[in-house]
Chains A and B, each alone.
Chain A
């Protein structure tokens, strides 16, 4: 058990973070290189002001027409994405592990709160799953990969929740939690989870086109 724990919490973490950071960087560089190589004109249309205007509108709940048309989806997706990013960053146990390894620390959230936030993420995944299964327009464009990435995202939170509460087999779920978290980090750059880094750019481009050329709103 010690060897396994030391492996997944040591070298594998390095691997996961390295793949995540360099993978995301690679995705961005490759995208920009491709723009430079084949669609250079895009750069000339990019506007900081209109990019920001668009990104901001789409970052505020109910600030766009489509969000108002789907209030439940809007609430769930904002809560989901907020908790998805904030929970692991400010989870007490994560902060402590980081402190132990690097003697570097930042604030953390109360465990009772992160517990709820974890459930929000899990519930969000469940909601998205139900959407995929039940809504015809989503079901129609759903393939196996969509379920897989949903699972990849849900896994660290489900196992983390079980491990925190020490239900069932604690060491088993703890190890599984670490591994699933690493899988998520590793897969982000190479699956459509890459929207995490790419979506701001597609949004910014559309925002620039609508603002600078089309003189119209894109929300």
Chain B
């Protein structure tokens, strides 16, 4: 076993954000920041978790990184906590900048904060929270992966993730409205409609790269005859990479902007697109940072939204999608929101040949893209695909039982699975639920 533990990691990634951040630091500064965070920002959870953990290693098999790296103990959840937080605590924060770089790499790129391990720890220790504390320290030290930091900067400057300017946002919506009017002439994407029932919000990448998703939702909303709107002001973006970089202050600002947009429009609820981390941000982390136990305005994730539409027969299916489909359960809406049965209801309603992958529901393997890891950018693509061989094996097993389409109702999962699909040559067609729903729904002639 000593052999495994000393095996060198194959590639050393040079990340400008981490390198430059570390170059500015001294051990004293690191100690100051660490101890400030420990003293002012952490409390009973951190202390109790660290002092209760009996070092049993039973969380190991929860982690896709561990399983994908031939059970290398450095990738087990507790192994990563040992290499980061325990080390910080043991040295009372006196970590030299070189070691801090390694700690940052582990915290940002070798954990997706998917919380699968929380379900495997006999004591229910929230290991993702511990890693988030490490990320918080790294953020305050200014050692963050460059791409992720850039995204956080975009959030801070524009209130959206993709440096989208206010007028570009409106242009994009109007463009999609026009496109969709070719199909449904009376279709509208109502902007700034005060008193609508629903405010629909998306993540920054949708208007930037995937505008057809807005198109599809617009069709859905119009066919279902819903009273909906989208804000024309900042606050339209529900995504949140600051949450993952450790920049809680920015997380709070963008969530406030989001909730305030909904409040200004006096909507009854926010419906959000098929995104997992955004759901975590509005339903779990961002709202709490702002002092809301639960979101101040009801949040309906796309899965639940589709579920309601189909259940209430506001949308009917013309002809079911007949290829073999399998369903990926995203951590943030399944372990984080319990939407797994609803997503199955929807998938079964729109497709005729549903094939479960195993494990599934709460026990599904992570996509290895979430938790901000994919947002750490291209330098870490191999970390993600090599770190998730187990996912490829899981998908391959589903494929061998006839699945050709992979549904991933989460943006991060979607992109992460694309990389895995490509790298391992799995040949899946990867779709959002909305893609298929749009395809199979009854539309007015």
Q: B-contacting residues of A (Cβ < 8 Å)? A: 31-32, 34-35, 37-39, 41-42, 44-45, 54, 58, 65-66, 69-70, 73, 131, 134-143, 146, 192, 194-195, 198-199, 201-207, 209-210, 213-219
Any chain A CB within 8 A of the CB of B82? yes
B124 touches A73 (CB 8 A): no
The answer to the question of B55 belonging to the interface, with a C-beta cut-off of 8 Å to chain A, is: yes
Q: Which of A38, A192, A210 touches B44 (beta carbons < 8 Å)?
A: A38
- The answer to whether A65 and B120 touch (CB under 8 A), given A140-B76, A202-B125, is yes
User: Is B73 within 8 A of A139, CB to CB?
Assistant: yes
Would you call A35 and B1 a contact (CB within 8 A)?
A: no
Q: How far is the CB of B253 from chain A (nearest CB, A)?
A: 20
CB of B175 within 8 Å of the partner chain: no
Q: Which residues of chain B have a CB within 8 Å of any CB of chain A?
A: 1, 4-5, 42-45, 47-49, 51-58, 60-62, 66, 71-74, 76, 78-79, 82, 118-120, 122-126, 283-284, 288, 293-294, 334-340, 359, 362-363
Give chain A's interface secondary structure class: helix
Chain A residues closer than 8 Å to B4, beta-carbon distance: 136
User: Are B119's CB and A146's CB within 8 A?
Assistant: no
Pairwise interchain contact A216-B362, C-beta atoms closer than 8 A: yes
CB <8 Å contact, B76 and A207 = no
* Given A65-B120, A195-B52, A198-B52, residue A42 in contact with residue B126 (CB < 8 A): no
Minimum-distance CB pairs A-B, first 5 = A215-B338, A206-B124, A38-B43, A140-B73, A136-B1
Q: Which residues of B contact A203 (CB under 8 A)?
A: 122-124
Please give, as numbers and ranges, the residues of chain B lying within 8 Å of A198 by CB-CB distance. 48, 51-52, 123
CB contacts (< 8 Å) of B73 on chain A: these are 136-137, 139-141
Determine if A39 and B43 form an interchain contact, defined as CB atoms under 8 angstroms apart: yes
Q: Are A192 and B53 in contact (CB under 8 A)?
A: yes
Whether the pair A42, B334 counts as a contact (CB closer than 8 A) is no
Q: Which residue from B5, B58, B122, B334 sits with its C-beta under 8 Å from A140? A: B5
Bound Cα distance A41, B43 (Å): 12
Residues in chain A near residue B57, CB distance under 8 A: 131, 135, 137-138, 140-141
Interchain CB contact under 8 A, A34 and B43: yes
Question: Of all chain B residues, which has the CB nearest A215?
Answer: B338
Q: Which residues of A contact B55 (CB under 8 A)?
A: 138, 141-143, 146, 192
Tell me which residues across on chain A come within 8 A of B119, comparing CB atoms.
65-66, 210, 217-219
Inter-chain CA distance A203–B79, complex, in Å, is: 21
A66 & B56 in contact (Cβ 8 Å cutoff): no
Q: Are A66 and B122 in contact (CB under 8 A)?
A: yes
Closest chain B residue to A39 by CB distance? Answer: B43
Residue from B42, B48, B58, B288 in contact with A31 in the complex, judged by beta carbons closer than 8 Å: B48
**Are B43 and A217 closer than 8 Å at their CB atoms?**
no
Give the chain A neighbours of B42 by CB distance below 8 A: 38
- Whether B56 lies near A41 (C-beta < 8 A) is no
A149→B294 CA distance, assembly (Å): 41
Q: Which of A41, A73, A136, A143 contacts B58 (CB under 8 A)? A: A73
A45 to B45, CA, bound (A): 13
Query: Nearest Cβ distance between residue B102 and chain A, in whole angstroms?
Result: 16
> How near does chain B come to A33, taking the closest CB pair, in angstroms?
8
- Given A44-B293, A65-B119, A195-B54, 11 new contacts (CB under 8 A): A31-B47, A39-B45, A42-B44, A141-B76, A143-B55, A194-B52, A198-B51, A199-B123, A205-B45, A213-B283, A216-B338
Q: When the two chains form their complex, are residues B79 and A140 in contact, meaning their CB atoms are under 8 A apart?
A: yes
